[in-house]
């Protein structure tokens, strides 16, 4: 479950991106966000994994506060959050395989992923 509790986001210029959002999304539930440009849809989505930091409130994922998470705990929580951006950004100088394996970076050490040393299981899964 993902839960937003009294979540607000105010940008440095004073613009309100989100204003006191309360929302519960149950596991397996299909949710659609519709709104005009600038209504806060992207801000809401990006706040789930803290690509945008909220200024008030709390975001709970599967019973844990991602708002309070730091360091390794935050990285662990982000492993299970996938996002496909409208203008997705593949690394052009990289292979298709390495672009696909980028989604597994959070599961392995920095040294292994920097050197491209992914486990055989990850590589096989990427080809499926």
User: Which pLDDT band holds residue 117 (cuts at 50, 70, 90)?
Assistant: confident
Residue 87 lies in a domain: no
Question: What global pTM score does this model have?
Answer: 0.70
Residue 47 lies in a domain: yes
Residue 43 lies in a domain: yes
Number of domains in the chain: 2
Q: What is the mean pLDDT of residues 65-76?
A: 92
- Cβ atoms < 10 Å from Cβ of 17: 21
Residues in contact with 121: Cβ distance below 8 Å, sequence separation at least 6, in sequence order: none
Whether 24 and 58 share a structural domain? yes
Residue 56 lies in a domain: yes
Q: Which residues constitute the domain of residue 54?
A: 2-78
pLDDT digit string (tens) for 80-110? 887 776 666 777 788 888 888 887 888 888 8
Residue 111 lies in a domain: yes
Whether 101 and 73 share a structural domain? no
CATH of the domain at 24: 3.40.50.300
């Amino acid at each position: 479950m993902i839960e937003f509790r009294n979540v607000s986001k105010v940008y440095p210029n004073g613009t309100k991106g989100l204003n006191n959002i309360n929302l519960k999304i149950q596991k397996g539930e299909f949710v659609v966000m519709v709104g005009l440009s600038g209504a806060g849809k992207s801000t809401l989505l990006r706040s789930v994994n803290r690509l945008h930091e909220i200024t008030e409130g709390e975001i709970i994922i599967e019973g844990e506060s991602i708002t309070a998470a730091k360091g390794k705990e935050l990285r662990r929580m982000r492993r299970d959050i996938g996002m496909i951006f409208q203008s997705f950004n593949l690394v052009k100088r990289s292979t298709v395989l390495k672009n696909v394996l980028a989604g597994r970076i959070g599961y392995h050490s920095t040294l292994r992923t920097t050197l491209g040393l992914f486990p055989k299981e990850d590589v096989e899964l990427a080809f499926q």
